[in-house]
């Protein structure tokens, strides 16, 4: 069992973390939102398929402009390479379990029948980018129960659990594949990613790789080979933000991580996160977190 991207880990849009290993590409994660800076699992994507079950509280999962609200006993499915984020639905800190696995965990990504018939169509666009799961629908309830069972197994790690994990994940995918196959969906296709989302991902990765440097909107737009107007449109329509606002927010999150996870001086944190003036850094940090950087570090240590 693993905590999913704890506060001290670097947050990236495309996760650097590998879910599982090449020999066993599947892993179960426990998610307590109190572990994260700002109590959110920020925008990201990964090549793994993901199933989540909410154990307590209520979670809002946003996929582009689609919003899924899942309470205790509910959950959601996220398709591979889909941009998404999760946050608490209210002031409480939800508790959630996620199962992430590569398609090859249940079917060889080559020419075998399992992959071609039951996995590839979903990755090519014949299934939703994400969807809510509820116990009120029997096949979805079975998936949610399976996620919770996998969580229990990840704690005990009894001998042979790898075999059982593969069987359970295959059963989960069977439920999804049978009930969301093209004829059930009425032949409608939902593309897993638009050109606009691809541009946004390129710009996001550029920001995450260069946030320490002085950046302009022109630099960000240029990283995706698009105009300034298209740059603003991508950020506004897909994640409801603006390029420089996102850059500033990301720098502040990185600063919060350094304050919590290192003993760096406040001035060092300031410059390490791309801020040029300590007074400006203190001002925007306080506006975001309600306290100065020094108070933020002290408060967390007291807790």
Rounded CA-CA distance 232/99 in Å is 34
Q: Residue 195: which residues within 8 A CB-CB, separation 6 or more?
A: none
Instruction: Label the pairing between strands 26-32 and 2-3.
Output: parallel
Q: In this structure, what CATH number is given to the domain that contains residue 231?
A: 1.10.10.60
Q: DSSP 3-state helix, strand, coil percentages of the chain (rounded to 5)?
A: 45, 20, 35
Name the domain boundary from 152, 179, 206: 179
Do 13 and 92 share a structural domain? yes
Name the domain boundary from 112, 145, 179: 179
- Residue 190 belongs to a domain: no
Q: Residue 76: which residues within 8 A CB-CB, separation 6 or more?
A: 51, 52, 61, 68, 70, 130, 131, 132, 133
pTM: 0.73
- Residue 103 belongs to a domain: yes
Q: What is the pLDDT along the chain (303 residues), one digit of tens a residue?
A: 443 333 333 333 334 344 557 788 899 999 888 777 778 888 888 889 999 999 999 999 998 778 999 999 999 999 988 889 999 998 788 999 999 999 888 877 666 888 888 888 888 765 678 999 999 999 999 999 999 999 999 888 889 889 999 999 999 999 999 998 755 544 444 444 678 888 998 999 999 999 999 999 999 999 999 999 999 999 998 888 899 999 999 999 899 989 988 999 999 999 999 999 999 999 999 988 889 999 988 876 545
Do 24 and 121 share a structural domain? yes
Residue range(s) defining the domain that contains residue 25: 2-179
Do 155 and 231 share a structural domain? no
- Residue 184 belongs to a domain: no
Residue 147 backbone dihedrals phi, psi, to 5 degrees: -60, -45
Residue 64 backbone dihedrals phi, psi, to 5 degrees: 60, -120
Do 64 and 153 share a structural domain? yes
Rounded CA-CA distance 126/48 in Å is 17
Name the domain boundary from 149, 179, 209: 179
Rounded CA-CA distance 127/131 in Å is 10
Q: Are 150 and 172 in contact (CB under 8 A)?
A: no
Q: In this structure, what CATH number is given to the domain that contains residue 155?
A: 2.60.120.280
């Amino acid at each position: 069992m693993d905590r999913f991207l704890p506060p001290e880990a670097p947050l990236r849009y495309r996760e650097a973390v590998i879910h599982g290993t090449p020999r066993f590409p599947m892993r179960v994660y426990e998610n307590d939102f109190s572990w994260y800076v700002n109590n959110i699992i920020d925008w990201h994507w990964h090549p793994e398929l993901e199933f989540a079950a909410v154990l307590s509280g209520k979670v809002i999962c946003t996929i582009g402009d689609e919003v899924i609200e899942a309470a205790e006993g509910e959950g959601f499915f996220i398709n591979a390479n889909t941009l998404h984020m999760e946050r608490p639905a209210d002031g409480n800190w939800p508790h959630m379990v996620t199962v992430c696995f590569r398609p090859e965990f249940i079917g060889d990504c080559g020419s075998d029948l399992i992959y071609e018939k039951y996995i590839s169509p979903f990755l090519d666009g014949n299934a939703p980018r994400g969807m809510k799961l509820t116990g009120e629908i029997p096949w979805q309830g079975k998936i949610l129960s399976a996620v919770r069972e996998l969580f229990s197994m990840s704690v005990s790690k009894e001998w042979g659990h790898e075999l059982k994990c593969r069987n359970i994940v295959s059963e989960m995918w069977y439920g999804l594949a049978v009930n969301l196959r093209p004829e059930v969906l009425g032949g409608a296709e939902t593309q897993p990613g638009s050109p606009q989302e691809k541009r946004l991902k390129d710009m996001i990765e550029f920001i995450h790789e260069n946030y320490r440097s002085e950046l302009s909107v022109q630099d960000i737009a240029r990283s995706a080979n698009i105009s300034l107007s298209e740059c603003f449109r991508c950020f506004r329509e897909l994640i409801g933000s603006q390029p420089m606002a996102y850059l500033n927010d990301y720098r502040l999150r990185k600063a919060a991580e350094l304050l919590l996870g290192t003993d760096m001086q406040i001035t060092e944190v300031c410059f390490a996160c791309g801020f040029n003036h300590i007074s400006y850094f203190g001002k925007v940090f306080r506006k975001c977190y309600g306290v100065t950087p020094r108070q933020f570090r002290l408060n967390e240590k007291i807790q």
